[in-house]
Amino acid sequence: MHSKRKNKSLTHVAVIAATACLLAACSSKPETADIQKDLAEVYACPIIELSDVKKVDGADVGGKLYDVAFTHTVSIKGGKEAAAKLFAEWSFLLSQVKPAQLEYEHIEDEVARRNSALRYNSGVVTGETKDDPAVKAAFERVQQMRSRMVAIMPCENMEVVTRLHSMRGTAEEAVNSGQQQIPVPIAIKISGSGRMGKAESGWHFTGMPNLTMVEIVSSEPMTYPSFKPLIAPPQAPTAAELDPPPAKLAAVDATPSDAASAPVPQGPSFDCAKATTQIEKMICADPKLAQADAATVALYKTALAASVNPDGFKQGQTNWRKNVRDACADAACLSRAYQERQRELK
């Protein structure tokens, strides 16, 4: 009887130990559930769905490390209707935002030219270019488009963005074919591999796994939705609005020929009157550097208009300005920095 109680007690202890080991992730190798848990973080996005995760191979490499190979599928939530709406509107916005950005820059330049002419030819005090109604309307149009792009495609992880780009490209090719009924990309089959390490919380990838697209899965053909501009494009200032008033020009001390030949100042992208740092003052003091700054910012704005990740692109420009441009100690360094940045932006 005593022996039976002892065996029963040992069995109970073994069950408790096994349960504790299971809860503590004592598995000797990663399983599909471990892979799926980490992939869920990789594909974290409200419009994406992860499914069909399957471990297909693995090998122990020692030191609580394990190499795994796996497959999985990434789909658009909501099926073909949601996918068609997403890709159609996304492509439409991409086709609109760059022209809108260029239109905004054109209006901004025209208003700045008008203000400069008024200040330097007529002595008229003007407001900030950005406060001009036409400039504000053009800027608002661009911002509304960008906000809408973020709303329909709220994914921040680059892996997700890359996969969605592939699907959108396939959809766009189909749309450009001119057919009325078009297959809708709804999912991507992906194969992957990576190294997982064992921790107290279980098995986790030690780095970003290698992921390769195997196949884009499309639904049966359907009609893609169409979209209209969010708001009407702003009207550029007329020639009459841009030309300084004749009465003001007559009040200038200079002769008409002097006024007509007065050069419009060529400056950097910022207001030299508000320059505070040594770098900004150096740029303002050198016409070539001022022109290089203006050209670089113009290229940046054009590239930003075409970017699908404007926040990341803006951060990249900020990092370049702080860590490259502002690290220069002389004009030669600044000139090289601008030249290299322009090559990157083209």
What pLDDT was estimated at residue 236? 53
What pLDDT was estimated at residue 252? 35
pLDDT at 99 over 70: yes
Which helix (H) or strand (E) segment is 197 a member of?
A: strand 185-199
What pLDDT was estimated at residue 232? 53
Q: Are 308 and 158 in contact (CB under 8 A)?
A: no
| pLDDT above 90: percentage of residues in the chain | 25
| pLDDT above 70: percentage of residues in the chain | 79
pLDDT at 134 over 50: yes
pLDDT at 344 over 90: no
Full DSSP string of 259-294: HHHPPPPP--SS-GGG--SHHHHHHHH-HHHHHHHH
Does the pTM surpass 0.75? The reply is no
What pLDDT was estimated at residue 323? 85
What pLDDT was estimated at residue 324? 87
What pLDDT was estimated at residue 290? 87
- Segment 225-230 shows an average pLDDT of 68
Taking the CB of residue 126, how many other CB atoms lie within 10 A of it? 16
Domain boundaries, the chain: 21-226, 267-345
* % helix, strand, coil for the chain, step of 5: 55, 15, 25
